[in-house]
Amino acid sequence: MAKSSTIKVLEHCYVSPPPNSVPPTSLPLTFFDIPWLFFSTTPSQPLFFYEYPHPTSHFISTTVPILKHSLSLTLQHCYTFAGNLKSPHEPGKPELVYTEGDKVRLTFAESGGDFNHLSGNHPRYVNEFYQLVPELPTSVSCEKQLLPLLAVQITVFPSSGICIGLAYQHVAADGRTFNNFMKTWASFCSFGDSFSIKSLPCFDRRVILDSHGLEGIFLKEWRKPRSSKDTVAGNEANASLSDMVRATFVVGSTDMERIKTWIIAECKKNNVPLPIHLSAYVLTCAFLWVCLIKTQERTIEKCYGGRDPNYFGFIAGGITRLDFPVPATYFGNCVGFGRAMAMRNELMGEDGVVVAAKAIGSTVKRLDKAIFEGAEKWISDWEVLFGSELHVMVSGSPKLDLYETDFGWGRAKKIEEISIDWMRAISLTESRDVEGGIEVGLALPKTKMDAFSSFFYQGLKALP
């Protein structure tokens, strides 16, 4: 059973940029933003856990004012998050809007829970985390059709730690942009008004060139009648989560090298070509994909077997792959979508990791070569992915150095992505303690988590 804990709300408030510091702004959605309209009911929900050896009284008197002020200064430069998504009646085009007085809902709370338990790697029931996640509306209910883009909850565990919980709409920011926002907030929190941003965020949508006509294609997809138009994730959010647990697994650089050595040996033994791309990301994802396939086959009554197609979906950073320049400080989405496919019987075979590595690696290299090849099918391809029980999706990236986000309390002790509970996804971040390693966040029913853990550790142990 989940450990019981109490949560006490200390304050509900709203934070805006400093008065008259940001002019009213309207930002049209680019073709990079529009696909995320389908995910409005499943916002990203990261939790940052920090050690904080102070009582609640110190938190209220000292830390709360600093957090409020630093967030206001951050929103002056990252004002999109204080604004809203405006979805006008068809055929109007959705846009991000900010007007004077727009604000972010900020909640301060105190938890009676076990900080060290929640910030661990071991299996913990997912329901233990939801009281740390801020409430963010995911549907509009007024004539203006405005949807808030960010909410924050900061929870103190007296004399133990702090959890900064966020919920944000991906239509406003990709992982790179969100990371820049968090780093800016942390810097203002640490250094106060003396902190000076070296490179201001770029909001100029003209830097995104739509030479393939993707905006019109994606808007047409968005306007299609659907039984569940708000999200391509389907009804997963309605599933019972009472028996689900989340756990973190670490794939170290030594593990990756052993996986790579094994793949090369198997290819030579069978006289078959090597996968064309064996990066740390590909090696980790290939190993995880096979572990998840084996877990599903063991723990469900329905055995798929045969040549059923299995999908592995992930996000590919766009800035380094584009054939036109986009500033590193661009504030918005600039990512492509990758979907690898392999047959289930091949993934379940003795060389399943080789098959997975070839499928994922080939997809990565195709995106490297031409990120917009097949881009007109990004939305329809992902609808197929989410419509199949036989899929895995990756959330996050190990390239973002999220653990270096320091609010003045040191590096984060743990980072969790809560939205994977609804998305049948795995989260990837850089490892906090293992250099070159990758942390894998996973949420599964307890029986499946036990099975996955067995396949994961036995699989690593069996490597040369």
CA 185, 189, 190, 194 dihedral sign is positive
Q: What residues does 167 pair with on adjacent strands?
A: 151
The pLDDT, as a whole number, for residue 142 is: 61
How much is the average pLDDT of 47-63?
Answer: 98
Lowest mean pLDDT among 180-194, 217-231, 248-262, 383-397: 217-231
Rounded Cα–Cα distance for residues 354 and 287 (Å): 9
Question: How do beta strands 391-395 and 425-430 pair?
Answer: parallel
The pLDDT, as a whole number, for residue 187 is: 97
Token pair for residue 151?
């909410």
The pLDDT, as a whole number, for residue 226 is: 61
Q: Please confirm, yes or no, whether 391 is among the known catalytic residues.
A: no
Token pair for residue 234?
């389907």
Contact 316, 281 (CB under 8 A): no
Q: Tell me the pLDDT band of 143, cut-offs 50, 70 and 90.
A: low
User: 256 or 390: whose pLDDT is higher?
Assistant: 256
Rounded Cα–Cα distance for residues 318 and 371 (Å): 8
Q: Please confirm, yes or no, whether 406 is among the known catalytic residues.
A: yes
Lowest mean pLDDT among 71-85, 154-168, 374-388: 374-388
Closest CA to 96 of 203, 201, 229, 215: 203
Q: Tell me the pLDDT band of 297, cut-offs 50, 70 and 90.
A: confident
From its phi and psi, is residue 220 left (phi > 0), alpha (psi between -120 and 50) or beta?
Answer: alpha
* Per-residue b or e along 250-280, where b marks 16 or more CB atoms closer than 10 Å to that residue's CB: ebbeebbebbbebbeeebeeeeeebbebbeb
Say yes or no: do domains 7-223 and 238-462 share a fold.
yes
User: 91 or 276: whose pLDDT is higher?
Assistant: 276
Q: Which of 170, 174, 255, 277 is catalytic?
A: 170
The pLDDT, as a whole number, for residue 308 is: 85
Say how many C-beta atoms besides its own lie within 10 A of residue 128's C-beta.
Answer: 18
- Which CATH code for domain 7-223? 3.30.559.10
* Residue 76: Cβ-neighbour burial (10 angstroms; 0-12, 13-18, 19+): middle
Q: Which of 230, 243, 381, 406 is catalytic?
A: 406
The pLDDT, as a whole number, for residue 422 is: 82
Domain positions in the chain: 7-223, 238-462
Lowest mean pLDDT among 23-27, 137-141, 229-233, 340-344: 229-233
The pLDDT, as a whole number, for residue 41 is: 83
Eight-state DSSP code of residue 349: S
The pLDDT, as a whole number, for residue 228 is: 47
Q: Tell me the pLDDT band of 299, cut-offs 50, 70 and 90.
A: low
Among the CATH numbers 3.40.190.10, 3.30.365.10, 3.30.559.10, 3.40.50.1820, which is that of 238-462? 3.30.559.10
Distances (CA, A) of 256 to 29, 210, 259, 354, 389: 39, 38, 5, 13, 28
Q: What residues does 50 pair with on adjacent strands?
A: 162
Chain-centroid distance of CA 3 in Å reads 26
The pLDDT, as a whole number, for residue 236 is: 42
Q: Tell me the pLDDT band of 303, cut-offs 50, 70 and 90.
A: low
Q: What residues does 47 pair with on adjacent strands?
A: 165, 416
Say how many C-beta atoms besides its own lie within 10 A of residue 165's C-beta.
Answer: 24
Q: Of all residues in the chain, what percent carry a pLDDT higher than 70?
A: 93
What is the rounded average pLDDT for all residues in the chain?
Answer: 91
Contact 359, 344 (CB under 8 A): no
> 253-269 and 352-369 helices cross at what angle (nearest 10)?
100
How much is the average pLDDT of 105-113?
Answer: 97
Instruction: List the helix and strand counts (H, then E) for the chain.
Output: 12, 17
Strand boundaries in 280-371, DSSP class E: 309-317, 335-343
- 310 three-class SS: strand
